[in-house]
Structure 1
Amino acid sequence: MAALQITFTWVAYAIVVALFMLFTAIFVFTYQDPRERSPAVTIVAIITLTSLLATVLLLPVDIALIASTSSPKLGRKKDWATPERVDSILLTLKIVYYTLYSFDAILCLIVAPFTYFWHEEYDDIAEDDGGQSVAGRFWTALRFTLVFIVLVVILFIVGFFVPIARDRKGKHWDLDYFKHLLTENPDGERALTFALGLLITLGTALYVFYTASGIALLPISFIKSAPSISAPSLIANTASHLEANRERQRQLEGRNAGRSGLSAKDQRELEALIREERTLVRRQRLAAEASGEGRSWVIRAWTKTQAIFRPIKLLGGILLLILVVIIWASMLITGIDKAKNSICKHHCGYLLTRISVFNPINWIFVKSAEVFPVDYVMITLIVLIFFSSSIVGITTVGIRFLWVRIFQIRNGHTSPQALLIATVMLTLIVLAINYSLAMIVAPQYATFGSQTFCKIPPKHPGEQPDCSDDPELVLPCSELADSAVCTPSVVSTFLNRIMINFPFFGVVCFWAQFVFLGVSLLVLATALFRAPRLDEAQLDEDAEAAEEEGLLASAGRRFGATWEDIRGKTRAGQTTTGNAGGHSTAPRAGRAID
């Protein structure tokens, strides 16, 4: 029975990772620019993102395998869960974790930079007439990547020799749980611990900026996805305005026929009308594409299906907003609880596995962990929310250095360089998400799952305690429990070992969670009560086209547009000179309207 449960757990993990690999492939192909598509960049981005998600999704597998060794109702280990069998399970998980963590670090610090310079070298060669061999490109890219290789080597050397924290005062350091965390491994684990602690800390800086913004904007994007005007109405309105524009141009040209030139006033008006005409032509094309006009029946059917499911998308956005609020509240509760009740405070990164205040997310996970794979499905949903929020944050804010935007991540317009940089950013962010899920969102679940221990001491040495006569003495496992009964998860042990041996990382990552909560709350309030505006003075041609595309998904609460999109035509008697709200949609001259 035990072997069957373990096998089923790993099979479920493999299936979920395969599904997420498909998800990452769709993400990469959706956002990259088809005109600049690079096979190397595509492959590296898909493999890197899949590896990251596989690392985070190993958490419920870790919890399920560890929890399967315990009897929650009796507060003791199962008969088959001998110390040797438990150690075997832990060793397998440890090997998988360290393999994935090392692979993530190599992809982030070496493979992605090499691919970036490889593609850059291809662009430089394309501009020259001489050309260069593949071997030449390889050595040129490798030469630039050597800087990152040297940094990785230095990072691991520092990890070998950097002193660990020695300020360990208090009786809690004598507990089995803390002794286990302080065990030093001479085979390189210490260097890997330091390197990943540094990467998690760097990722936290991106996490509090991009993920915090995205987790507030994600449900809002669902709620405000219903357009204020349908595609058929937009086509009709645009055609009407385009005809009026061209008629006015003909009037100006006819009025000045036979003259040496147009007056200054007419010339300015004509130039404005020409700019306006270009905008309307692009809008007409985009509206036609959105409605599937002139395209295959598959595209038209997909367009109508999207229109049918808009109300469901709105409902999903409301439910997602409620879930995000619950996650936000759970993180705040855990943060306050850790800051107040952690027995070692900043000396161990505010370690606390026993929740003193009710945490809804943690409670749901602990209860669902008793029935696998319910908790797996739920934590997969949470991971997907955080990962999607990171993508939304990066696409909304863009890749910036301070206030200067370097790259913009847009649907179908992302360059390979921007895609690789975004992949590296997501690598660091996902490492920070892994910390946040295990230490802040649901710390008790992530550490012990549904494991419990019996408060009654065993009658004889080597025997397990028996609480079958008094179930009230069965308590959830914590750092105070006997390690022979309560086995911590591998990921919690690894993360807590980082925070205890290098407390600086733990302090930064912990207090950054409050910054995350503040930023997300501010962005949510802003998104709910104020629509974002574009700075038209800085728009280039591509950004202007993106602004027009945004018109087709503009916020609104009218469902008449949805019905018209399903029918494929406007309602009888509807005016073509105004939108659903009764306001004129006539474009103003001299600007790209939306």
Structure 2
Amino acid sequence: MALIQTSLIWVAYAIAIVLLLAIASVFVFIYQAPRDRAASVTIVSIFTTLALLATVLLLPVDVALVSSTSLSSQGRKKDWASPDRVNNILYTLKIVYYTLFSLDALLCLLVVPFTYFWYEEYDDDAAESGEQTVGQRFWGAFKYTIAFILFVVIIFLVGFFAPFAKQAKHDQQLDLDYFKRLLQENHGERALTFALGLLTTIGTLVYILYTGAGLALLPVSLIKSAPSISAPALAANTASQLEQNRERQRQLEGRNEGRDGGLDSRDRRELEALIREERTLIRRERLAAESSGEDRHFLVKAWIKIEAVFRPLKLLGGLLLMIVALLVFTSMLITAIDKAKNSICKSHCGYILGKINIFQPINWILVKSSKVFPIDYVIFLLLVLFFFSASIVGIATIGIRFLWITIFKIRKGHTSPQALLLATVLLNLIVLAINYSVAMVVAPQYATFGPQTFCDRPPRHAGEQPDCTKDGGAIKPCTELADNPVAKDVCTPSVISTFLNRVTINFPFFGVVLFWAQFAFLGVYIIVFLTTLFRTPKLDQEQVDRDLEEEEEEGLLASTGRRFGATWQDITGRSKKNNYGSTERNGERS
């Protein structure tokens, strides 16, 4: 029975990995520019996105596995859950976690930079003429990657030789066995702990800006933005107007034939205006073709069709996501206040919270749903994808910047390979921060012990387990502060909570920064949320380059009007014709 339950939990994780692969592929193919697509960039971006999402979504598996060893209804361990069996489960989880964390670090610090320089080193002319070989290109990319290799080596060396936190070691408040175990790790674990703590701290700074803004922008953008005219209708109207424009130009040019003085001033001004209008119509025609998915990858076309099908549900979906975002905001604020007020060691251990003292809605939902796996897994998956989507929206809105200077813009179908790789690195760092935020702030009790409970009465005889149904004791939820012998035997903390708490207790500086950064995140969210309530977000129009200004001019994606006819035409790919054979547009005939 135990083997079947464990196998089903890992099967659910495997199914989630397949789903994540599809999500990562759709994300990359939607945003990358078709004309600049490179196989190496595509593969690395998809694999990196898959690895980082797989790391976060291991948490419900972790909670389910450690919780499967106990009978929550009776507050005791199951008969098969011997200490050796429990240790084997924890050891397997630890191997998977350390593998994924190491993979994330290597992808972020080595593989993605190398791929970036590998793409930059390619020279079309030199490759065609045979002047550039694969070896030359490899060395050109590798020599720029050496700096990142040195950075990785320095990080792990510092973590390997870094001493334990002296304040934490001598803090009398940390005499409980749970906290003593956090201080017990070898040098290899300490090196990885330091490296991940550093990357998570850096990622949290990025997370504050992009995810904080995106969490507010995503629901509001769904509510306020929808095209007022379908892409096929726009393309048909534009083609008709372009034909009329060129016909009028031919008429004016025909008048000029045989004239010594050429066109008069009035006709010349009209011809110049027609030429300017022709340029605008050509740009509009190109934008309509891009928006309808012509000459694009089949995944992009499919995504455009899906967007059109679900467009009528945007308003409802936006309102629902806004409620979820406010619920997340409230839950995070409650936990942050609880930590600041009731943490047993404050800054000495990164504000570890011994137990939940204030009712917290998301934590309560996940703890209750975790009693029936995989309900909590589905909820957690949706929560992580919400944070991930918000991060993408934040990056697409703000762009990749250095201070106030925009380096790259992230746009659907227009993102260069260099920008896509940099966005992947940012998402990698952000997801590490999301991992900490969800586990330690959004749902701390769920991420640490799940639904595990213990009976506060000692067993009747030595070697037996307590049974509250017979002994008359009270069943209590497992917490870090539960230090009686029964709790030590029954309560098993998750591997991820142990790892993250180990980061903050051994390196308190990281814990302090990570904790107070949550308030900064909430501050960014509330500022952007209040701003977007009174100002329509223009996620696709904040452009400075020429191409995006043209897209904004046409307003194809910016209009706030809604038409079900436009939705149907986008789905079918056909524009509606009236009895005269001309295309209808906004109630008028062209």
TM (normalized to structure 2)?
0.89
Matches of 1:129 and 1:56 in 2, distance apart? 46
Determine the structure 2 residue equivalent to 1:592: none
Task: Give the drift of 1:483.
Answer: 2.5
CA contact (8 A) 1:283 1:548 kept: no
Matches of 1:30 and 1:464 in 2, distance apart? 56
User: Deviations for 1:482-505, whole angstroms, at most 9, x for unmatched residues?
Assistant: 332211100000000000111111
User: Which residue, out of 491, 494, 499, partners 1:494?
Assistant: 499
| 1:139-538 superposed matches below 5 A | 139-168=139-168, 171-186=172-187, 188-231=188-231, 233-235=233-235, 237-238=237-238, 242=242, 258=259, 271=272, 273-287=274-288, 290=291, 306-469=307-470, 473-481=474-482, 482-532=487-537
Name the stretch that deviates more: 165-174 or 17-26.
165-174
Q: Find out whether 1:114 has 2:114 as its counterpart.
A: yes
Task: Give the drift of 1:270.
Answer: 5.1
Q: Find out whether 1:551 has 2:556 as its counterpart.
A: yes
Unmatched 5+ stretches in structure 2: none
Number of positions where the alignment pairs a residue of Structure 1 with one of Structure 2: 583
User: Which residue, out of 547, 553, 573, partners 1:542?
Assistant: 547
1:395 and 1:138, CA in 2 relative to 1: closer, same or farther beyond 3 A?
Answer: same
CA contact (8 A) 1:499 1:506 kept: yes
CA contact (8 A) 2:249 2:274 kept: yes
Matches of 2:281 and 2:221 in 1, distance apart? 26
CA contact (8 A) 1:198 1:505 kept: yes
Matches of 1:299 and 1:41 in 2, distance apart? 17
CA contact (8 A) 1:225 1:314 kept: no
Matches of 1:344 and 1:273 in 2, distance apart? 74
Matches of 2:345 and 2:9 in 1, distance apart? 35
Task: Give the drift of 1:58.
Answer: 0.6
Name the stretch that deviates more: 309-318 or 372-381.
309-318
CA contact (8 A) 1:172 1:178 kept: no
Matches of 1:323 and 1:234 in 2, distance apart? 35
CA contact (8 A) 2:540 2:558 kept: no
Q: Give the aligned residue type for 1:388.
A: S
CA contact (8 A) 2:457 2:473 kept: no
CA contact (8 A) 1:353 1:444 kept: no
Task: Give the drift of 1:426.
Answer: 1.1
User: Deviations for 1:173-202, whole angstroms, at most 9, x for unmatched residues?
Assistant: 11111111111313x111111111000000
User: Deviations for 1:547-578, whole angstroms, at most 9, x for unmatched residues?
Assistant: 3686146333444543565684458699x999
1:455 and 1:293, CA in 2 relative to 1: closer, same or farther beyond 3 A?
Answer: closer
Matches of 1:420 and 1:496 in 2, distance apart? 31
Unmatched 5+ stretches in structure 1: 587-594
Q: Give the aligned residue type for 1:115.
A: T
CA contact (8 A) 1:224 1:557 kept: no
CA contact (8 A) 2:541 2:551 kept: no
SS in 2 for 1:14: helix
Name the stretch that deviates more: 469-478 or 487-496.
469-478
| 1:94-105 superposed matches below 5 A | 94-105=94-105
User: Deviations for 1:223-274, whole angstroms, at most 9, x for unmatched residues?
Assistant: 3453223345534654565467557756876888847577999877755543
Matches of 1:301 and 1:47 in 2, distance apart? 22
1:269 and 1:209, CA in 2 relative to 1: closer, same or farther beyond 3 A?
Answer: farther
Task: Give the drift of 1:276.
Answer: 3.0
CA root-mean-square deviation: 3.5
SS in 2 for 1:333: helix
1:560 and 1:116, CA in 2 relative to 1: closer, same or farther beyond 3 A?
Answer: closer
SS in 1 for 2:401: strand
TM (normalized to structure 1)?
0.88
1:585 and 1:512, CA in 2 relative to 1: closer, same or farther beyond 3 A?
Answer: farther
Task: Give the drift of 1:450.
Answer: 0.5
CA contact (8 A) 1:353 1:447 kept: no
Matches of 1:300 and 1:130 in 2, distance apart? 37
CA contact (8 A) 2:504 2:510 kept: yes
CA contact (8 A) 2:457 2:466 kept: yes
SS in 1 for 2:317: helix
Determine the structure 1 residue equivalent to 2:3: 3
Q: Give the aligned residue type for 1:12.
A: A
1:405 and 1:545, CA in 2 relative to 1: closer, same or farther beyond 3 A?
Answer: same
Q: Give the aligned residue type for 1:116.
A: Y
Task: Give the drift of 1:64.
Answer: 0.3
SS in 2 for 1:400: strand
Name the stretch that deviates more: 376-385 or 450-459.
450-459
Q: Give the aligned residue type for 2:340.
A: A
Task: Give the drift of 1:102.
Answer: 0.8
SS in 1 for 2:406: strand
Task: Give the drift of 1:408.
Answer: 1.5
Name the stretch that deviates more: 533-542 or 100-109.
533-542
Matches of 1:415 and 1:299 in 2, distance apart? 16
Matches of 2:295 and 2:239 in 1, distance apart? 16
1:261 and 1:216, CA in 2 relative to 1: closer, same or farther beyond 3 A?
Answer: farther
Determine the structure 1 residue equivalent to 2:74: 74
Matches of 1:146 and 1:361 in 2, distance apart? 44
Matches of 1:146 and 1:558 in 2, distance apart? 55
1:172 and 1:410, CA in 2 relative to 1: closer, same or farther beyond 3 A?
Answer: same
1:380 and 1:297, CA in 2 relative to 1: closer, same or farther beyond 3 A?
Answer: closer
